[in-house]
Amino acid sequence: MFFFKISRSQTCKPRSHNMASKNQKNKPHVFFFPFLAHGHMIPTVDMAKLFASRGVRATIITTPLNLPLISRSTQQSTLLGLPINLLSIRFPCAEAGLPEGCQNVDAASSYSMMAAFFKATAMLQEPLEQLLREHHPDCLIAGSFFPWTTDSAAKFGIPRIVFHGTGLFPLCAGDSVTVHQPYKDVASDSDPFVIPNLPGIEIQMTRMLLRAFLMSNEDTFLSRLFKAEKQSEVTSFGVVVNSFYELEGIYADHYKKVLGRKAWHIGPLSLCNRDQNEKSNRGKQASMDAGDCLKWLDSKKPDSVIYICFGSKSNFTEPQLKEIARGLEASGQNFIWVVRRGKKDEDQDEEWLPEGFETRIEGKGLIIRGWAPQMLILDHKSVGGFVTHCGWNSTLEGVSAGVPMVTWPVSAEQFYNEKLVTEVLGVGIPVGVKKWVPVVGDYIEEEAIVNAVKEIMEGEEAEEMRNRAKKLSKMAREATEEGGSSYSDLSCLIEELVGPSD
């Protein structure tokens, strides 16, 4: 494993285009249009707050049912006078064949609903363009799953910047696999192949860890979307990345110099939330009072609690939840376990818990059913490990908190993130997931859970891993401070958009 030291001078070279002619005394105005999923909206809100803290007028665009989440997350910033505005556009559920109220990808529970959902997002083009026409922003930062926004921005002579919601290592690895198709050179789905044209250490994958539709010649809505997404990125003004140079330096250089992408790393975005209120109000309303959660953590010794959370989209089966419960109990560790259940399961008896489980773990374990104040938990001194699905937000929040991880990827780009955590950075242990299975994940047995949890929490190797994680945390925080790599890259981006300040 290795860390990256910044070794290049942070210099900005503003390009000349129509925005540079604006009066420099006026604050630049940036539209933020996040993809409609919690994992995309939350970091985009953080990004808008970060831009606003640097004197940029930020307007976040979303749909009516997603507005409360964003308003809740920005409330404190607006009270402090940061120039953040919210605009809402109607989501065409009926026109796309979706049930009323399905305005977030987390509510799309089947493949057919996902197809209809993406159809609906394409219908947002006209109302978005109407807002561009009315408000005349200087730039549009839009989610990667809105590929049509590059053309929309071009109609009004403004740049569109892409936000993928992931890091530079998974972007580089995914591009290499898509372009070079190394999975065609192995005999079976379980045979390993090396990701080609990737700097740094050799990274091996199998076909079972990849999105199936990327290896198929079938013409599906997903394959069409990803092709459009890639083309849109190439023709856009550039890419903004929630990462920092010290974490992924050689991949940042590869992405820019070898793949030819224009990119700015400005993260970790979550670090713009500095006090307890900001951290607890980030995202949805927590299912447990933050004060009660912190009080429970205060009663534990430093680095003695393992935190388990699989994001907002994963929805494990009852047998898998029972295995996790048994594994946590058998590990002997203090734990906080966040459990997400589908709406149809919420009113049913909790048969996913072993009989008498909560009585036996009283005082040692805490179950949060629903949404948790994750930043507050990870930042607490008693938390010494994190079992995660390796979504990029969770991965980066774990890095920022200096907490080693047990990696349990489910789908999306999470298997690339696992490789970054365990093999490149050396701050994680894989639980043993062998295949890409959306939502429900690959099945992991109790013994593997016990072994991974103990390995991350106990012994000399765990302590060495924790020390590496804490060094990364320090680098992350320094990157976002004035003069740091992410702070400087954001300065470069703002200057490139509006020209240097007087």
Residue 126: how many other CB atoms lie within 10 Å: 9
pLDDT digits (tens, 9 = 90+) for 353-401: 999 999 999 999 999 998 899 999 999 999 999 999 999 999 999 999 9
Dihedral over alpha carbons 431, 301, 374, 472 (to 10 degrees): -70
3-class SS string, 369-421: ECCCCHHHHHHCCCEEEEEECCCHHHHHHHHHHCCCEEECCCCCCHHHHHHHH
**H helices present in 168-317, as ranges:** 168-180, 221-235, 245-253, 276-280, 290-298
Task: For residue 360, give the H/E element and its range.
Answer: helix 357-360
Mean pLDDT, residues 311-340 taken together: 93
How far from the centroid of its chain's Cα atoms is residue 461's Cα? 28
pLDDT digits (tens, 9 = 90+) for 126-172: 999 999 999 999 999 999 999 999 999 999 999 999 999 999 999 99
Return d(Cα 150, Cα 129) in angstroms, integer: 11
Return d(Cα 33, Cα 142) in angstroms, integer: 5
3-class SS string, 128-141: HHHHHHHHCCCEEE
Residue 501: how many other CB atoms lie within 10 Å: 10
pLDDT at 280: 80
pLDDT at 115: 87
- Tell me what the pLDDT averaged over the chain comes to: 90
pLDDT at 497: 86
pLDDT at 477: 97
pLDDT digits (tens, 9 = 90+) for 399-429: 999 999 999 999 889 999 999 999 999 999 9
| Tokens read off for 1 | 């494993």
Residues 6+ positions from 11 with CB-CB distance below 8 Å:
492
pLDDT digits (tens, 9 = 90+) for 259-306: 999 999 999 999 999 888 888 888 777 778 888 999 999 999 999 999
Structural domains in the chain, sorted by start? 18-272+477-498 (3.40.50.2000), 286-475 (3.40.50.2000)
pLDDT digits (tens, 9 = 90+) for 57-96: 999 999 999 999 899 889 888 888 899 999 999 999 999 9
Dihedral over alpha carbons 288, 292, 294, 298 (to 10 degrees): -140
pTM comes to 0.92
pLDDT at 6: 40
pLDDT at 500: 53
